[in-house]
Structure 1
Amino acid sequence: MALLRADGTIQKLNHAGQRILNETSDDGGGLRFDLTHRRDTATPHGLVSWSESRHAKNGAIIELSCRSEPMEGGYSLVFEDVTQRRRRDRRAAAVARIAAELISDRSLSSVLTALAYEILKADGLAGVQILTGDADSGNLRVLGMAGFTSLTGERFLERLMECKQRGARLCMFEVMESSRLAVMPHRYAEVMSDPAWEPMHEVLRFPVWDAFASLPIIVRNQTIGILNLYLAPGLSVDNEDLEFFSTMAVQAGVALDYAALLESERRSAEKAERQRLARDLHDSVVQGAFSMRMQVQALKVLTGSGELLANRKKIDTIAGELEEISGAVLSDLRNLVHRTKPVALIDKGLGAALRTLVASTSRRTGIDVQMRISGELDHLGLPMAEDIYFIVSEAIHNAVKHSSTDRIDVLVNAFESTDSLRIVIKDFGTASNRPTGAGTGDGMSGRGIAFMKQRAKNWNGLLEIVFDEVHGTTVSLEMPSASEEHRWGRA
């Protein structure tokens, strides 16, 4: 409790107040409270409550909850230290927000940068860094940073390795090797006075910090990164602090692990797609080329026998077969090339690429392929556009290959209001043309269908395939968001 003069300076401070404000005299040493809250309130002469922060003599920031009312010659003031309570509230909110970030579709670097800022705000730290990589090789990456506004991840690592070469002790590397946290009081003074750290003096000088803490980021019993914390002057690390920091290190590990799993899925899908392409080449082009080679050898035998006129009919038959086989091989090659490298997609966007696909399919097969596009598609980034293109291409290819249909309808709807996309590809084949192993709903098998589903999953999309014995097959693609920023790993 304190008695304040009219200008807000302390006239009398009790022992509890001295302890909170870290003051040794009962007159408050000239400290002054901000009374603008009283002037701004609608009841300036009654009881007024407010919160304010101030720096204690040891440099720590104290958060106070204050209540005052007027008295003769000044004000009476009751205040309490709510620093720890507010810090716990901020920490709980930070954990909740980061949990929401982890289930969102933002990129890994965006999530970890957000995590770094949440730690910074929750505890009033000077700086936070999240690094991954291998300490032995020096192959590190800064994926999240907050507090050092003039410092980039690349610049930090470059100068850090220079300090290491000059003999500086890098305790963060020790943490990665030992998988045990490290807390170093007054590390700022040590770093700034050590010539080995000279390359980092400029970038670590501001904002001013004091102690340094480094925690391992552990995933599946393996340390894959570190969480570095630069504590503001006056802050110390207690068990409650370490519990919060450890929780955030675990959250960072979850984000890193999730990103690694997505990357593994992507590589598996790419490998499977290469295997599928090799199988398609073998089933069509390679077999056709082998048949052509056998026919050419037969021609050589017939023309080398000296009886050309007698073998004329056989030669004409083989020549006709060669022409038919070579045409089929050329058609298959064109189809494979068009499916693997849609030039129109790169040059003109998704809408033009789909129109080219539909037109070329109609010319090659004689099937009436009709498409209607509603909404804008060309704003989509290339990675998402590629996945959408190949889903439509595969669906049309399956209809041509496995169906006796004479018509294929493609309906594309881009909804600007919800930033979503819906595509339906429908053929009119009958049950007799049902592909081997096909089922209904999501049960259809086959690698091509698996690739389609994986491409949809890349963007949190949903692919459904329904086979109807009377009305043919319907492929439906739902994209909840047509924006690339809604996917992990696309930063």
Structure 2
Amino acid sequence: MVTIDGDALGNLEAVSDAVLAMSGHLEVREVLRRITASARCLLGAEYAALGVPDDHGGFAQFVVDGVSDEQWKAIGPLPRQHGVLATMLHEFTPTRLADVRRAPAFEGWPDAHPELKDFLGMPILDGEEILGAIFLANKAGGFTDHDERLLRILAAHASIALGNARLYERSRELTLAGERARIAHDLHDAVSQKLFSLRLTAKAAATLLDRDPQRAKAELAEVARLAAEAADELRAVVVELRPAALDEDGLVATLASQVQVLDRAHSATVRFDEDGGVRTLPPAQEAAVLRIAQEALHNALRHARPTRVEVTLRGTSTRGARLTVRDDGRGFDPDSVRRAGRHLGLVSMHDRAQTVGGRLTLDSAPGRGTVVELEVPGA
């Protein structure tokens, strides 16, 4: 049986707290900040910094802890990769110095820079790649072998947290690129075509104004109708451009807010109802539910000519959620739509559902509206 003394247990708890602090965030900048603060707190240093190098002799990102905003501004531009920093970014082993100012590679620092003495630097490694380095300075009594071991453990977890954050941000970039492409397609297919028709109709009205005022009046009425439709289309696209405040407001409030906006922007009545039993879902599930609801609403309001669209959200026995989007519009034959190569976003909705382990069903027929239902599991 292995026993753990009080000091060792305290160290484990401190490392655990540091790992949890930096693993609870997905934005790269926040992860870097958490790693730096956790390292400083864990080892009891006065100052801490973390640098992520770029490919041009500088730093893509550089964060500090223990330095006030006023001090940081007075120090000036970000440091370059030189001196001890450069050494740290090209070596796979830690650097521990009793006095950094006596190091052969030391090249000084700006006047406003705090005075550093004892120093511990640890590379953050991902296999054979150095992702960055953690720098600690000024610990009472100096840094020890024990400190170095703790920082090595922390750096290993920092590599995982930083890698996950980079993947998350890359995923967001790809998602945003896809959304931009879809919105551009919508603008081209809907708004630009309506504007083109509006321009031609306006020209026809101008030509008829003198010789056939009655026809010119009819053409101007058509101009007004086309302009109103174009405005509705543009409002729908703008609504989808608004970022979903899932982190701040949660799924229920965000979905309710978007339904209210659509209700004001369209002639159809759009309503939202939830039973109060929807638990907080994992972020990926919440995003999928919101995006599929948006796509289903978009299809109903643009293509179905409904008088009423109902969105309901219910909790499930699996701690998940069930979304239903129902309209009383003209409906369609899903098989005919697929054979004609017109997907109405059905493929993207199915893909989103499958990605989070959900199940999507669609029920529609000409003359009897459409029902889109999505069920996603909980945590």
Q: Confirm or deny a common fold (TM above 0.5).
A: yes
1:338 offset after TM fit, Å? Answer: 4.0
1:58-207 equivalences under 5 Å are 86=8, 90=11, 104=24, 109=30, 113=34, 117=38, 121=42, 126=45, 129-134=48-53, 136-137=57-58, 140-142=61-63, 145=65, 151-152=66-67, 154=69, 170-176=83-89, 178-181=90-93, 183-187=95-99, 190=102, 196=108, 199-201=112-114, 204=116
Q: TM-score, normalised by structure 2?
A: 0.65
Look up the match of 1:322: 223
1:99 offset after TM fit, Å? Answer: 6.6
1:479 offset after TM fit, Å? Answer: 9.1
Q: Which AA in structure 2 matches 1:285? A: V
Q: Retained in 2: the 8 A contact 1:120–1:126? A: yes
Structure 2 residue aligned with 1:424, among 294, 298, 323? 323
The structure whose residues are more often strand, as a share, is 1
**Superposed CA offset, 1:156-198 (max 9, x none):** 7557668979xxx84123322x24445243216859xx99567
Q: CA 1:163–1:396 in 2, change beyond 3 Å: closer, same or farther?
A: closer
Look up the match of 2:296: 395
Q: Retained in 1: the 8 A contact 2:272–2:312? A: yes
The answer on 1:226 being equivalent to 2:129 is no
Give the paired residue count: 350
1:82-481 equivalences under 5 Å are 86=8, 90=11, 104=24, 109=30, 113=34, 117=38, 121=42, 126=45, 129-134=48-53, 136-137=57-58, 140-142=61-63, 145=65, 151-152=66-67, 154=69, 170-176=83-89, 178-181=90-93, 183-187=95-99, 190=102, 196=108, 199-201=112-114, 204=116, 210=118, 212-219=119-126, 222-230=129-137, 233=141, 236-237=144-145, 245-303=151-209, 308=211, 311=212, 315=216, 318-341=219-242, 350=254, 353-354=257-258, 356-357=260-261, 359-360=263-264, 364-365=267-268, 369-375=270-276, 392-403=293-304, 407-412=308-313, 422=321, 424-427=323-326, 432=333, 436=338, 444-446=346-348, 464-468=359-363, 472-476=370-374
Query: Any idea what SS the aligned residue of 1:445 has?
Result: helix
Q: Which AA in structure 1 matches 2:182? A: R
Q: CA 1:246–1:184 in 2, change beyond 3 Å: closer, same or farther?
A: closer
Q: CA 1:409–1:237 in 2, change beyond 3 Å: closer, same or farther?
A: same
1:283 offset after TM fit, Å? Answer: 1.2
1:292 offset after TM fit, Å? Answer: 2.1
Q: Which AA in structure 2 matches 1:276? A: R
Q: Retained in 2: the 8 A contact 1:138–1:161? A: no
Query: Any idea what SS the aligned residue of 2:333 has?
Result: helix
Query: Any idea what SS the aligned residue of 2:325 has?
Result: strand
Identity across aligned pairs (percent)? 19
Counterpart-to-counterpart distance in 1, 2:292 and 2:186: 17
Q: Which AA in structure 2 matches 1:226? A: A
* Structure 1 unmatched runs, 5+: 1-49, 53-62, 64-85, 146-150, 378-383, 482-491
**Superposed CA offset, 1:378-432 (max 9, x none):** xxxxxx99997665443312233355766533224589xx9x8846232257551
* Structure 2 unmatched runs, 5+: 279-284
Instruction: After superposing the two structures, state which structure 1 stretch, 250-259 or 127-136, moved more.
Output: 127-136
Q: CA 1:234–1:139 in 2, change beyond 3 Å: closer, same or farther?
A: closer
**Superposed CA offset, 1:13-34 (max 9, x none):** xxxxxxxxxxxxxxxxxxxxxx
Counterpart-to-counterpart distance in 1, 2:15 and 2:68: 24
Q: Retained in 1: the 8 A contact 2:312–2:324? A: yes
**Superposed CA offset, 1:299-338 (max 9, x none):** 444457xxx2xx5675455445434323322332333344
Query: Any idea what SS the aligned residue of 2:347 has?
Result: coil
1:153 offset after TM fit, Å? Answer: 6.8
Q: CA 1:99–1:395 in 2, change beyond 3 Å: closer, same or farther?
A: farther
